[in-house]
Amino acid sequence: MAKVVVGLSGGVDSSVAAYLLKEQGHEVIGLFMKNWHDDTVTISDECPWLEDSNDAMLVADKLGIPFQTVDLSNPYKERIVDYMFDEYARGRTPNPDVLCNREIKFDVFMDIALELGADFVATGHYCQKTTSIENGQEVHHLIGGADANKDQSYFLCQVSQKQLAKTLFPIGHLQKPQVREIAAAQNLITAGKKDSQGLCFIGKVRLPDFLQQQLQPKVGDIVEIDAQTSREKMLELVPAAAAGSDEELVTLSRKRKYHPTEGKKVGQHQGAHYFTRGQRKGLAVGGTPEPLFVIETDVITNTIYVGQGKNHPGLYRRGLFVTAAETHWIREDLEIEIGATLEVMARIRYRQTLEKATLHRVENGLYVIFDDEQSAISPGQFVAWYQDNECLGSGVIA
């Protein structure tokens, strides 16, 4: 049996993960990560770390396993929070949960666990791992969780073979109701606890309040672009390019650029860097037949472009680009060569249904071209690609 350090978060999933490992006969240690000190930006009573830490300690006590807290707030600020500020300032929309797994849970935290003599680190993620031998080498496979509604493989799309080798996902084969039933049967305090919301380890925040710690408000215009203008913009981008050519790949993936003179001013905002494509809330503009959605932002001119309705053509395109530096293969053995293509299933956000797509490898990166148009492809977010429910790799949308 192995020595396993469980990341006890104070939630039901990690609690049951620890219980199952102990039942299997492993030597289990509970470790709580404290990653945030500033409660001023969190919405009250939403995922306060003190309550979570206390719940994690009570679970460890109930299970009879050693428990301790580690303060990772400094690396969390440097690797996650500072990165978020920088990305938003550039007009991109980062995904801190994906980064938190890559940089904190499966890096800094894993190093601490291994220093404690652990053979493995375990988490309460809804995903699964299998291992096979390919060409004489051990290969680890990141598989989606059995509960399709809770599958969290997207959040782990940046992990490496080295990290997977040392990781266990004890609840990945279970459905969420089963996890709660197990917790209730063991009288764990977390059995009925609501799932945490918001930023990884910070809790639910008012994003503008959070960002205003470093990104100052800056009044700018909200400009509405009508559907016809957006369609014309799209047609302007389509050259007489051969299917599958580099020109077509660029066209299908290119961000549309608007000018204030192409629409009408309908309001003002406090900073383009606070908004992202597809956003509906926070615009404070009414009186339109259909709700307004952000179709594009321009942090250079500090302008937000909006369109009416979730089917506005400005929200949709078929392709995206990932630079070579921000392309990551979990399955390094399946990485495609320059000029090659690979048919996959892909998603651009958590819980999105997997969509048919083709990867096109070029010299400076990777194009992901979907069979169908996708809504609100946002720079800074992650695209993850799969085959047979296995996450093969991912990248940051350029």
> Of 200, 175, 203, nearest to 13 (Cα)?
175
SS3 142: strand
Query: What is the 3-state secondary structure of 240-279?
Result: CCCCCCHHHHHHHHCCCCCCHHHCEEEEEECCHHHCCCCC
> Of 268, 273, 269, 267, nearest to 212 (Cα)?
273
Q: Please report, for residues 13, 62, 189, 329, 377, the alpha-carbon distance to residue 178 in angstroms, rounded to integers and kept in the order given.
A: 10, 20, 16, 32, 34
Looking at this protein, which amino acid is placed at residue 276? T
> Of 373, 378, 366, nearest to 336 (Cα)?
366
Burial class of residue 138 in the structure, from the number of CB atoms within 10 Å of its CB (0-12 exposed, 13-18 middle, 19+ buried):
exposed
Q: Please report, for residues 9, 37, 81, 143, 252, the alpha-carbon distance to residue 43 in angstroms, rounded to integers and kept in the order given.
A: 19, 14, 17, 34, 40
Partnered with residue 362 across adjacent β-strands are: 365
Report helix angle 49-63 to 12-23, nearest 10: 20
Evaluated on CA atoms 75, 210, 197, 352, the torsion sign reads: negative
DSSP 73-137: HHHHIIIIIHHHHHHHHTT----HHHHHIIIIIIIIHHHHHHHTT-SEEE---SEEEEEEEETTE
Reading the block at residue 131, the tokens are 């291992």
Partnered with residue 361 across adjacent β-strands are: 366
Please pick, among 47, 100, 127, 157, the residue that the annotation labels catalytic.
100
Looking at this protein, which amino acid is placed at residue 22? K
100 is an active site residue: yes
H helical segments located in the chain: 12-23, 49-63, 73-76, 82-89, 96-100, 109-115, 161-165, 176-185, 207-211, 227-236, 246-253
Please pick, among 47, 127, 157, 200, the residue that the annotation labels catalytic.
200
**CB distance 200 to 100 below 8 Å:** yes
Give catalytic residues, as residue numbers. 100, 200
